[in-house]
């Protein structure tokens, strides 16, 4: 299942390419709203462009006065995939599935190298 060539691409190239489709995924306001950051290089390979974002769970105050946060305010990491042409970006696996940037980046790189059987 492995063996596809993976090209490491600077993140600014991914941002340019996604923005060229008219997507608002990397808009400053969108990134700020979700507390998102693009982590390191991206991996262009099987199935498109693979990359990692991090999000900080800021939590919310509920009407009953309780504070609710999914991750207790910690920064978590998600593996993402863009197919190279659409306006949407997919989350691969669970949103915020990784507690470690290194593990998320390693996973994105490995997924980019998988050869998808047709």
Over residues 76-103, the pLDDT tens digits come to: 999 999 999 999 999 999 999 999 999 9
Over residues 11-60, the pLDDT tens digits come to: 999 999 999 999 999 999 989 888 899 998 899 998 899 999 999 877 77
Region 67-77 average pLDDT:
81
Domain assignment of residue 75, yes or no: yes
Domain assignment of residue 118, yes or no: no
Say if residue 115's pLDDT is above 80.
no
Domain assignment of residue 1, yes or no: no
Q: Look up the domain containing 86 and give its range.
A: 7-113
For position 118, what pLDDT does the model report?
47
Predicted structure pTM score: 0.84
Give the count of domains, the chain: 1
Among 109, 48, 53, which Cα is nearest to 81's?
A: 48
For position 61, what pLDDT does the model report?
81
**Cβ partners under 8 Å of residue 77, min gap 6:** 39, 52, 53, 54, 96, 97, 98, 99, 100, 101, 103, 104
Domain assignment of residue 26, yes or no: yes
Which residues lie across from 42 on neighbouring strands?
9
Domain assignment of residue 2, yes or no: no
pLDDT category at 66 given cuts 50, 70, 90 is: confident
How many angstroms separate the CA atoms of 27 and 25, rounded?
Answer: 6
How many angstroms separate the CA atoms of 5 and 21, rounded?
Answer: 25
For position 57, what pLDDT does the model report?
78
């Amino acid at each position: 299942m492995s063996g596809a060539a993976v090209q490491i691409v600077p993140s600014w190239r991914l941002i340019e390419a996604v923005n060229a489709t008219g997507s608002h995924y990397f808009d400053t306001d969108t990134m700020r709203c979700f507390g998102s950051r693009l982590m390191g290089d991206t991996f262009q390979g099987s199935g498109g462009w693979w990359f990692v974002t991090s999000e900080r769970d800021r939590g919310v105050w509920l009407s009953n006065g309780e504070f609710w946060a999914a991750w207790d305010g910690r920064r978590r990491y998600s593996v993402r995939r863009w197919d190279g042409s659409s306006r949407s970006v997919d989350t691969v696996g669970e949103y915020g599935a990784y507690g470690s940037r290194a593990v998320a980046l390693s996973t994105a790189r490995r997924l980019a190298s998988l050869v998808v059987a047709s």
